[in-house]
Amino acid sequence: MIENLTPQQAWEVLQQNASAVLVDVRTQMEHAYVGHPIGAVHVAWKEAPIWAINPNFVSDVSKLIPNLDAPILFLCRSGQRSLSAAKALEDAGYKRLINIIDGFEGPLDSQNHRGNLGGWRYCGLPWQQS
């Protein structure tokens, strides 16, 4: 079963469990230019311009995180791609999978802008830009 945690709850998991890994599944451009949580590993679930699912996603993650019992937290822009990525790892036998709801930038506000209602960055959690 995949857990859904807020960014703050996810941060607590990362602080309390040394084996926990945060995987940023956004595109390389999002990761680099929009910013990313400090310490996150980057493995894109989909990549522009064709937005096809990365056929090597599961194998790429398994090379980085071979322990099927390690807590793995997934983050995307708003919490949707990360959930799909977590399901792929669940199918591959991983046991502790966590989707970060609202992702890095959060949902759209009434002006169709992200970053004003929720998400990792909005919550003031550690992040950086490349």
DSSP for 26-62, written as a single string: S-HHIIIII-EETT-EE--SEETTTTEE-TTHHHHHH
Instruction: Indicate if the pLDDT at residue 28 is higher than 90.
Output: yes
Confidence of residue 19 (pLDDT cuts 50, 70, 90): very high
Share of the chain above pLDDT 90, in %: 92
Catalytic residue among 65, 72, 76, 101: 76
> Which helix or strand (DSSP H or E) is residue 127 part of?
strand 127-128
Q: Is 76 a catalytic residue?
A: yes
- pLDDT, one tens digit per residue, over 34-62 is 999 999 999 999 998 889 999 999 999 99
Phi, psi values for residue 63, rounded to 5°: -70, -40
Picking from 68, 65, 85, the residue whose alpha carbon sits closest to that of residue 25 is 85
Cα angle 123, 127, 130 (rounded to 5 degrees) comes to 145
| Averaged pLDDT, 22-35 | 95
- The band of 79, judged by pLDDT with boundaries at 50, 70 and 90, is confident
What are the chain's domains?
Answer: 2-46+53-125 (3.40.250.10)
Q: What is the mean pLDDT of residues 80-93?
A: 96
Instruction: Give the DSSP H or E segment for 24.
Output: strand 21-24
Indicate the pTM of the whole model. Answer: 0.95
At residue 58, the pLDDT reads 98
